[in-house]
Amino acid sequence: MLELKISGLSKTYANGVRALDDVSLTIPTGMFGLLGPNGAGKSTLMRTIATLQEADAGSISFAGIDVLKQKDDVRKILGYLPQEFGVYPRISAETLLEHFAVLKGIYKSKERREIVGALLRRTNLHDVRKQGLGTFSGGMRQRFGIAQALLGNPKLIIVDEPTAGLDPGERVRFHNLLSEIGENVVVILSTHIVEDVSDLCSNMAIISGGRVLMQGEPLEAIRNLEGKVWRRVIAKGELETFQQEHAVISTKLVAGRTVIHVFSETQPDPSFEAVSTSLEDVYFSTLRNVAAEEKAA
């Protein structure tokens, strides 16, 4: 059983921003969701695991490798899809993937062609393999990114905000692909999209302000909150009053009406109705609790 172990990881940038604050996580085989708002420290953590950035303190180990010290050993078993990656727009998907394969150490031309062909089929890009990457849609480019990340049969795969900007159909295709990949290796999915974690991951963590706020199984986290989330439709002008009187964890406009979810051990009053708890409620409740603690301190 593969396991990535992160202990006491910290990183402060030159401008004084503390991007990682004593982060400790144990990430088992399978899909692991790293959920947090923009600027939470997710990308800093991903780049550090991917050996692209140094940490100030702490340790990371994977499959007997000291990730912070044995960078070349990590890169041999690592697949990485960053949040943003560049391509040569006039070069075909097949040609660029072959180039990446050489960089991964796959030197025999026959073997390389077979691997590249298989990956293009797996990512449903074989029919467009001769097309320039500049003609690809956002979803096609993301699938190409996964194809290059899978070169060399990596044991650790990192995908950073992979579904941001994808249309619903491409998002479903990408989810199916990630689910298939994550069966026998460690896949870390870093995202601010709650549904991605809810749909894909058997384990997760919430990170904000460079700190881990919770770690566990999404279903267990949802069960722990069940019966404590209440819903009410209010007038837009009432929101501030309700925020002062209740633990409002989320607000959203539904058909032009303001719907609030509040956390409470018991029904706040008869005007509130119980709702089936979702991972989104867990996420916003966790962020709100931490914000309230910091405000009180």
* CATH number (domain holding residue 38): 3.40.50.300
* Shared domain check, 163 and 240: no
Domain end residue (candidates: 150, 181, 216): 216
* Shared domain check, 54 and 149: yes
Cα 238 to Cα 97, 156, 207, 210, 272: the distances in Å are 55, 48, 31, 33, 14
The DSSP call for residue 133 is G
Domain end residue (candidates: 216, 235, 251): 216
Instruction: Answer with the residue of higher pLDDT: 85 or 62.
Output: 62
Instruction: Indicate the number of domains in the chain.
Output: 2
Cα(166)–Cα(168) distance, integer angstroms: 7
* Shared domain check, 203 and 228: no
pLDDT at 132: 93
* Shared domain check, 263 and 191: no
Its domain, for residue 68, covers 3-216
* Shared domain check, 197 and 157: yes
Domain end residue (candidates: 216, 251, 283): 216
Whether the CB-CB separation of 21 and 210 falls below 8 Å is answered with yes
* Shared domain check, 238 and 210: no
* Shared domain check, 21 and 139: yes
Cα(116)–Cα(293) distance, integer angstroms: 51
* Residue 44, token pair as written in the block: 């800093």
The count of other CB atoms within 10 Å of the CB of residue 283 is: 26
* Shared domain check, 191 and 120: yes
* Shared domain check, 242 and 194: no
H-helix or E-strand spanning residue 25: strand 18-28
Q: Give the side-chain half-sphere CA count within 13 A for 76.
A: 8
- What would the pLDDT profile of 92-113 be if each residue is shown by its tens digit? 999 999 999 998 889 999 999 9
Strands 247-254, 229-234: pairing is: unpaired
Q: What angle do CA 117, 122, 124 make, to 5 degrees?
A: 95
* Shared domain check, 141 and 227: no
pLDDT band at 289 (very low <50, low <70, confident <90, very high): confident
Whether the CB-CB separation of 58 and 23 falls below 8 Å is answered with yes
Length of the chain (residues) = 297
Say if residue 83's pLDDT is above 80.
Answer: no
pTM of the model: 0.89
Whether the CB-CB separation of 30 and 183 falls below 8 Å is answered with yes
**Partners of residue 25 on adjacent β-strands:** 6
Provide mean pLDDT across the span 281-297: 84
Q: Average pLDDT over the chain, rounded to whole?
A: 91
> Phi-psi category of 126—alpha, beta or left, where left has phi over 0 and alpha has psi -120 to 50?
alpha
- Residue written as token pair 């956390």: 263
* Shared domain check, 284 and 143: no
- What would the pLDDT profile of 20-70 be if each residue is shown by its tens digit? 999 999 999 999 999 998 889 999 999 999 999 999 999 999 999 999 999
Cα 6 to Cα 20, 59, 62, 102, 182: the distances in Å are 12, 6, 9, 31, 20
pLDDT at 297: 64
Cβ-based neighbours of 128, under 8 Å, separated by 6 or more: 93, 136, 140
Provide mean pLDDT across the span 76-96: 88
pLDDT band at 11 (very low <50, low <70, confident <90, very high): very high
Cα(163)–Cα(184) distance, integer angstroms: 22
pLDDT at 85: 78
* Shared domain check, 51 and 89: yes
pLDDT at 175: 84
Provide mean pLDDT across the span 104-124: 92
Whether the CB-CB separation of 17 and 44 falls below 8 Å is answered with no
